[in-house]
Chain A
Amino acid sequence: TQLLEQSPQFLSIQEGENLTVYCNSSSVFSSLQWYRQEPGEGPVLLVTVVTGGEVKKLKRLTFQFGDARKDSSLHITAAQPGDTGLYLCAGAGIHGGSQGNLIFGKGTKLSVKP
C-alpha cells in the first residue's frame, strides 16, 4: 500500500498551459515537502508546508496543504519547458517515524513542450 498517492503519474502539456499535481494520503503528516528531480540528479527541495490550509507561492508555482494535513497540491501557471522534470511529494512525521524518515510519493513526470 502506497501511503502517499500522487496523480497524475505522467503529464505532457504545451508551453503556456496550467497544470495541477495532487498528493493524497489517508494519514496525517506533520509536514509535507515538494521536490523536483531531473535525470541523473538528486531531488531538490521546492517548498515545505506545515500548517493545515497553508498556501505558499514560488513564482509560477502554488503549493497548498489540505486543512486536515493529509493532502497537498502543486499548481503551475503558464508552464515552461524548463519546468520539465519529476515532481515528488514527501511527508514527514507519520506513524511516529523520525523527521528524517520521509515518505515519498512515486512522483509525477512532467513534460512541457515548446
Chain B
Amino acid sequence: GAGVSQSPSNKVTEKGKDVELRCDPISGHTALYWYRQSLGQGLEFLIYFQGNSAPDKSGLPSDRFSAERTGGSVSTLTIQRTQQEDSAVYLCASSLGSSGNTIYFGEGSWLTVV
C-alpha cells in the first residue's frame, strides 16, 4: 500500500480481555517498529523487527505484551489480560532498513480499556 496501515483504528475493550493490533508496513520495508503514545507521556518504544526477527524488544512493558511478524511483512501486537493503564495509541512504523532510513508512521490504533 501507499503507507503504513494499522487496524483497528479504534478499539474499546473490557479489562482482562486480550486484544490484537495489526500493522501492514510499506511494501519492501524490512524494518518495522511498534511505539505507544500515552497522554502526557510522549512516544515510548516497544519493539523493533528486522525481517521476522526482533533484535530489540527492550521496550515491551510486561510479559502481557508480545509481537510477531511473519513473512517479513505484517506484524501483530498482542496484549493479554488488558489493564486500564494499557489505554493509549499504538503506533506502527516501517523503514527500508534500520539505520539512516526515514521511518514512516501509521495513523495508530487507539486502544481504550474500560
A interface vs B, CB < 8 Å?
Answer: 31, 40-45, 48, 88, 90, 97-107
Contact = CB atoms under 8 A, between A and B. Distances in A.
A48 B55 CA distance: 23
Nearest to B50: A100
A30 to B, nearest CB: 9
Contact of B107 (A31, A40, A97, A106): A40
A100 B93 CA distance: 10
Contacts of A97: 56, 58
6 A-B pairs with the lowest CB-CB distances in the bound complex, closest first:
A42-B105, A100-B48, A104-B43, A106-B42, A98-B56, A99-B99
A99 B98 contact: yes
B54 to A, nearest CB: 10
Interface string B77-113: 0000000000000010101001110111111100000
A31 B103 CA distance: 13
A104 B31 CA distance: 19
A88 B105 CA distance: 13
Nearest to A31: B100
25 contacts: A31-B100, A41-B107, A42-B91, A42-B104, A42-B106, A45-B103, A45-B104, A90-B43, A97-B56, A97-B58, A98-B48, A98-B55, A98-B56, A100-B31, A100-B50, A100-B56, A101-B56, A102-B35, A102-B43, A102-B45, A102-B103, A104-B42, A104-B43, A104-B45, A106-B42
